[in-house]
Every structure is written in C-alpha cells, then in structure tokens.
A and B are shown apart, each in its own frame.
Chain A
Amino acid sequence: MLQQTKQPGASLVGGYEKLEFNFPAGNVTAQDQGVEESESENKLDGETASDSESKSEFGGSSPVPTSDDTPEVLNRALSNLSSRWKNWWVRGILTLAMITFFFIIIYLGPMVLMTIVMCVQIKCFHEIITIGYNVYHSYDLPWFRTLSWYFLLCVNYFFYGETVTDYFFTLVQREEPLRILSKYHRFISFALYLTGFCMFVLSLVKKHYRLQFYMFGWTHVTLLIVVTQSHLIIHNLFIVPISCVICNDIMAYMFGFFFGRTPLIKLSPKKTWEGFIGGFFSTVLFGLLLSYVMSGYRCFTCPVEFNNDTNSFTVDCEPSELFQLQEYNIPVVLQSVVGWKTVRMYPFQIHSIALSTFASLIGPFGGFFASGFKRAFKIKDFANTIPGHGGIMDRFDCQYLMATFVNVYIASFIRGPNPSKLIQQFLTLRPDQQLHIFNTLKAHLVDRGILGSLEDA
C-alpha cells in the first residue's frame, strides 16, 4: 500500500497526536535523526490519556502533518469541536463502528467469519511487509513483493487445506480431484513452498544479498506470526477470547484515563498500573457475564459442521457438559460475603476466568511487543487504514498471543481429538490394523458398559 503524499497544512482533524509527529506512518525520513528518543516515547503510544501534556513536551522541530483518512462526512460534522474532542469522537465513532461490524459478522455465520479472518490476516501481512520495504528501501527489488505474496499463498493453501479436509470430509471424499488433493496435500504444499525457495535462491542479485536475506527473514517471521495464528483463531471457540482482549483494551484505557497515576512500563509510558489492574478485574467480570449469556445458545456453543444433505453449515448439537448448568458450592469464605450457599454456573464460565486472566495479564505484552517494534523502526502506526486507530495490525496486536493461548488451552484442558479426523486417519490404515483397532475399541466400549451386547445392529 503506497502511503498517500503528505500535504502541509492538511486538515486538523486527527488531533494533536498526528500534528506533533514527525514520523508519518511507515516512512523513515531524514528528520528522524534529529529527534530525541524521549519525545518519540511519549507520542508513539496510541493510547494517550492526556493529549495536552504531550503537546507541551514537544520540542522545537517543525511538525509535518500526516495524511488524513477521515471521511469528509465526519470532518464536516465535527468541524465545530476543538481538535482534542474531535479526535476523541473520531476514535469513539470508529470503535463503535468496528464493534457493530463485529456483531453483524457473527450473525452472518461461520463462512463469513472465516472470510473476514482471512481478509484481516492478508491486510496485516501486507502492512508488515510494507514496513519492511520502507525500512530497507527495497522497492527496487520487485521480485520480493511477488515472492512474499507467493509464500503467503503457499502457507495459506497448506492451512486451509488441512481445515477443509477436516470439516468438509464427506464432500471431499465424494469428489475425485478433491480427494487426490487432500491425500497428497502435505506433499503438494511442500512442493509449492520449495518452488518459492528455489526462486528466491535464483533471484539473489550480487550487490543486494544482505537486503534479500533480510526480506526473506522478515517474510518468514511475519508468516509465522500472522498466518499461523489466524488459522488457530478459526479453530477456536471464537468469540469469548476476542471479546476479552477487546474488553481489556477498552477497560484498561478507561481506568487509565480516569484513575491513571503510576506508569506501568517504560515502553508505553501512558499505560498505568491502575489501568492494568482495573482492566484485569473488569475483564474477568465481563468474561463471566458474556460466557453466561452465550452458553445458553446453541449457535455459539456447538461446533460448526458441514451438513452433507443440505449442503450448508449447521450449528446444532447436544450441548456438551461444559455448557450445562451445574451447582457449585461456594467456599465458606465467600459465603458470608455473597450470601448464597450454592451458585449455578456453567463450567465454561470457570474456563472463561482463565481466558480473561490471560487476556489481561499476558495480552498486553503482545501490545508492548508491537510498541517496541514500532519504536525500533520509528513508525507511529502500522498503517493508516482505520482513521483514529492506525492500521489493522494496531488493533490486532494483542490478539495474536491470545489465539495461540486459546488453542493450546483448548487442546490441553477441554477438547479431545477431533473424531472425524480420527476416522479419516483410520481409513488410511491397512485392513489388519483397522480390524485390530476396531476390536480394541469394541472391547473398551463393552467394558465400560457403553456398548451393550444388543448394540450389534
């Protein structure tokens, strides 16, 4: 994505933060070298609690206004307000827009959700690669953009292939070409990747080896972070973790705004301990409430399945134990406080406490990592996609660690292996192995009383 050309004297909407920065998103200019690090620390953090303070700390360098993406409509509607409130309103409106959009997507169903996740992933990848190009001025090496996109395609093909094979199992078995593709899927993916690798080696140009290796490394690390985690998101219980992170973001901001005194970490000086702790408790509470509400509805708790007969996705099932109300005894200590002897809760809510705790405690580290990254490469935002918020990466930086955590959590504590995947593997075994497994399973089931001897039919 090419950065829009900067026009001096561009509209003031966008607030103090944008006016004061010397570093337009994604570009490293010659002015950077004159600016002290202390200034950049205060301004690069998107979550400023008090804009007026940062303005006063600003040194003598002349401001270069950034390009402004805010739609004209909003500009005119808000033209009366002072710059500071305008900025706040722009952020607020965009936040509401994103959240509404989120709910609409959930309503529209799994296919749309998957498509959206894919689009977000591609955009994030694009933003990070563009930063790399800007940093290394490697626009003159056209091969690298092609190669990066090619690698993105390969990795996505690999992951989507695995997903498709799992969920569309019966459909895949029916169609001959799909069956072959899925049987040799790993080999095909690897062959595609190798082609890219060989192209890279062949394209090494004498004077630019180092640059090319940097871009290769950059591409791979980005793929590792962005693509693998977006695929983990698809496999997870989707809504509760993402909402926890969003909630934590917003709550920490609110608490920090109203109560913030003690700075949390040097990387992001505007983040405070009060924001952190307040955010933690409110996220846990929010998680409990949200999971209570959602556990009651099948459309949220059932795994997505592809129904062969109707050729559509269905979410219909018997809710598992996790989503059935149970009575818990309240520990004696809390009984006096709360006044109840027992409480009815879904077991899932207990897991949601763990998820919210992680979102509040470790999620911010993902944010610090991204802040450090932006500081290291002297950029304010990853890109200018969302007015008032920066790029898509800016919104999703905390989500990445969360996605991996949830996946690991589910695999370890909640869900066992996927039955359809097991059946799939079973079908590739030799007949004698199949028979052996079948008999062992049968003996196990009879042993447990799950299978009576009458069940042979």
Chain B
Amino acid sequence: EVDLEERLHELDLRSDSDIPDVPPPTDSTPEILKRALSGLSARWKNWWIRGILSLAMISGFFLIIYLGSFMLMLLVLSIQVKCYHEIITIGYRVYHSYDLPWFRSLSWYFLLCVNYFFYGETVADYFATFVQRREQLQFLIRYHRFISFALYLTGFCMFVLSLVKKHYRLQFYMFAWTHVTLLITVTQSHLVIQNLFEGMIWFLVPISSVICNDITAYIFGFFFGRTPLIKFSYFLAQHQYFVCPVEYNSETNRFVTECEPSELFQMKKYSVPPLLQAVLGWETVNMYPFQMHSFALSTFASLIGPFGGFFASGFKRAFKIKDFADTIPGHGGIMDRFDCQYLMATFVHVYITSFIRGPNPSKLLKQLLILQPEQQLSVYKTLKSYLVEKGILQPSLRGLGFEVLRLLQPQTSQ
C-alpha cells in the first residue's frame, strides 16, 4: 500500500502536465436566465450571461455606494470572507484533505483571529468617542494586541496538538496555505477599509481604475482607459459625500461624511506647460489637485494591476483549475473578479500614507497623553522650542523675559 504522502510528493515533483485535471465545474446559471436565452446559440448565450451579470454587479455596487460607508465596509468584509473560502477550498481539493476536518475549523479560526485583530485596531481609532463611554470596551481596546495574540497562539497550539502521524506534510502545507491566503486577502481588505475611511473617493477611484482597465484593456487599450476615469474623479471630487473622511458621530450614532474639503479637493488654477499649450489651446486649466493623484493611481492600475491578474492566471494554471469557484455565473468566482484589485489596495494605502495624509492628530494626542509625566514634559519642551523656532508659536512675554534674564547672566551655566 502506497503511503498517501509519498504519492503526493511524487505528484509534486512531476511536471505540471502529469497532474490530472480537476473536473469542470458545474453550471450554476439560474433557471430563469437559461429559459430566457434558450433560443440563442451557445456562444451568444454565454456573452449575454456575462453581460447581464456584469450589469447586475455594477448596479449592486452603485446601490451600496448610495447606502453609505458602513454598508461598503460590510461588503468588503463579505467579499474577503468569500475569497478566503474559495482559495482554501482549492487548497483542500488539491491536497485531498477533506478527511482532515480539523483543518477547516482551524482555517476559519485563524481567519476570525486576524479579522478580530484588524477590526479592533480600526474600531479603536474611528469609534473613539463611542468606545470611551463603555467600560468593557475600554478593557478590550487597551489590551487588544495581547488578546489577539493570545487567540492566535491558541490556534497555533491547536495546530501543533492536532498533528497526526501519517499526515504531517499535508498539515504543514495547509497551515502555510492558510497563512499565505490570510496575508493576501485579509490584510489587503483591511487596507481597503482604511482607505475607505479616508474618504470614499480613495476607495472608489482605485477600484474603478482597475475595473476600467480590465474592461478597456479588453476592448480598446491603454490610453482610452484613462480619460473617462479622470472625468469620473472630477465628478467625485466635487461632492463632500465622497471626499470627506468617514467619522462616527456619537450623538446621532451614525457615520457622517462632513468636513471642510482639504486642499486636495479645492479647485486650483494650473498653468499648462508651453509644450502642451500648443496642442490643447488653453493657457491655464482648472483642476483639483486630487486629479493629479488620480492620474498616478490609474497609471499604477494600468501598469501593475495586470500583474496581479497574471499571478492569478499562473496560479490557476499551476493547480489546473479554470476558475476559482462558481459563485458568479459566467464569471467564475469572486476571486476572479478581484484578483487585480489586491495589489491596488496596498498601493493606494502606501500612497496615501506616504504622499497625502500625515498621521492622525487625535491618535497622536491620545498617545501623548499615555506617556509618563517626565516623557510628556520633555516632549512638551521639544515641541515648544520647535514651534517657537518656526514662528508658529509666539513666545510669551514672560518667556521672553526669562530668556533675556538667562542671556544676561554670566556664562558659567552654559
């Protein structure tokens, strides 16, 4: 009797062509559509199904945007869970590890832990006022990292305890598979949510860039893909709903997006470089500074986004699957739709933190107040001298008086 592990190891080493194909997925098109399109030939039927579902997804997307940030957050969360599920299922199928029931529980447990950790960090920042009022939440927030880590460790120990003699390798594979999947899907979906909290525009423009790039690369090509996007971001930049950071108002118990639009979203006059003046015929142009950033974002979407798609195609080819799953008829799984988005989410987050947003002032203040008194005093002195030097803070008369006195004293103390 050949050991299961040895067989798998042999399979691993053979080149891909030797691996048997996964059987084609079952057709999950709803009955209604099937009947409505029964007249057409198979090829057009497929095209119509794809088309209808695309429209359905886009409308659903607009609906959720209308419903607000909170719904969007929930949507991102459900997409993340579904993507995770799809990838884990592929792993199980590849390694025939349905017989190891522990692994499904453990994988879901790890998903829960990592989500708990990330949501805890997000919630603490944005719901600060809400949290201050409740005692139990205070405890959870203060020791949040420790609690998350303890939860993760429990999962880790369960994994070690569940190692079964004949299946070590399989189990380690699944462990690694789970972690890499978590790294890809969960961390990036949280970056998306953080981007979302900066203002819906930071969520919508990148996503639209990628979708746009997908569609137009398919149809037309590079340049044409970018122009509609610039107009779209122009439209978004004019409305507070999209531009303002999301905040939780504890009085009304709702999310609000109201603010003074930052500099980025105020119209400015730019002089057109002489080179382009001849081409375009204008001398100056009114633009939002944000539109320059959206240009950078869409460039990234066009150039690097496709690599995410190639990665996913390579992955599907390596494991001999046509689609990640059957969730959406005609389109495959959720992962199929979102594969290009992942790199984009991280890029946007890094871009925002590097070029646009500074650190969050209220968070900084919170941390300052936790310091030891001596540390606070030394920080205070440093800040004060900095502000005086920059002219932001006028030294008080009394302070000036002390300075003068100090300077007039003999130099022994220097």
Say whether B176 contacts A221, CB under 8 Å.
yes
User: A33-B6, A435-B392 given as contacts; is B145 within 8 A of A419 (CB)?
Assistant: no
Contact with A along B395-407 (1 / 0, CB 8 A): 0101100110010
Q: Which residues of B contact A416 (CB under 8 A)?
A: 367, 370-372, 375
Say whether A213 contacts B318, CB under 8 Å.
yes
Say whether A217 contacts B180, CB under 8 Å.
yes
- With both chains docked as a complex, state the minimum distance between the C-beta of B74 and any C-beta of chain A, in angstroms: 28
Say whether B364 contacts A422, CB under 8 Å.
yes
Say whether B157 contacts A444, CB under 8 Å.
no
Q: Does A62 contact B (CB under 8 A)?
A: no
Q: Does A457 contact B (CB under 8 A)?
A: yes
In the bound assembly, the distance between CA atoms of A278 and B396 in angstroms comes to 65
The 8 Å CB contact of B365, one of A266, A411, A437, is A437
Say whether A190 contacts B143, CB under 8 Å.
no
Q: Does A375 contact B (CB under 8 A)?
A: yes
8 Å CB interface, B338-379 against A: 343, 346-347, 350-351, 353-355, 358-359, 361, 364-365, 367-379
Q: Does A372 contact B (CB under 8 A)?
A: yes
- With both chains docked as a complex, state the minimum distance between the C-beta of A206 and any C-beta of chain B, in angstroms: 8
Q: How many residues of A contact B (CB 8 A)?
A: 80
The 8 Å CB contact of B314, one of A209, A413, A427, A436, is A209
Q: Which residues of B contact A137 (CB under 8 A)?
A: 13
Q: Which residues of B contact A422 (CB under 8 A)?
A: 364, 367-368, 371, 379
8 Å CB interface, A369-427 against B: 369, 372-373, 375-377, 401, 404-405, 408-409, 411-413, 416-417, 419, 422-423, 425-427
Q: Does A88 contact B (CB under 8 A)?
A: no
Q: Does A320 contact B (CB under 8 A)?
A: yes
Total A-B pairs, Cβ < 8 A: 198
8 Å CB interface, A205-226 against B: 206-214, 217-218, 220-221, 224
User: A201-B307, A221-B176 given as contacts; is B359 within 8 A of A429 (CB)?
Assistant: yes
Say whether A224 contacts B179, CB under 8 Å.
yes
In the bound assembly, the distance between CA atoms of A143 and B12 in angstroms comes to 19
Q: Does A194 contact B (CB under 8 A)?
A: yes
- Segment from A73-81, A146-154, A328-336, A445-453 that makes contact with B: A445-453
Q: Which residues of B contact A435 (CB under 8 A)?
A: 387, 392-393
Say whether B358 contacts A428, CB under 8 Å.
yes
In the bound assembly, the distance between CA atoms of A451 and B361 in angstroms comes to 22
Q: Which residues of B contact A430 (CB under 8 A)?
A: 358
Q: Which residues of B contact A37 (CB under 8 A)?
A: 165-166
Q: Which residues of B contact A9 (CB under 8 A)?
A: none
Q: Does A61 contact B (CB under 8 A)?
A: no
- With both chains docked as a complex, state the minimum distance between the C-beta of A328 and any C-beta of chain B, in angstroms: 22
Q: Does B317 contact A (CB under 8 A)?
A: yes
In the bound assembly, the distance between CA atoms of A282 and B169 in angstroms comes to 35
Q: Does B171 contact A (CB under 8 A)?
A: yes
Report, nearest first, the 7 A-B pairs whose CB atoms are least far apart. Answer: A209-B318, A376-B168, A457-B402, A187-B354, A412-B146, A376-B169, A425-B359
**Interface contacts beyond A376-B172, A438-B387: sample of 8 additional A-B pairs, CB < 8 Å, sorted by A:** A183-B354, A208-B16, A224-B179, A416-B372, A422-B371, A429-B364, A448-B373, A456-B398
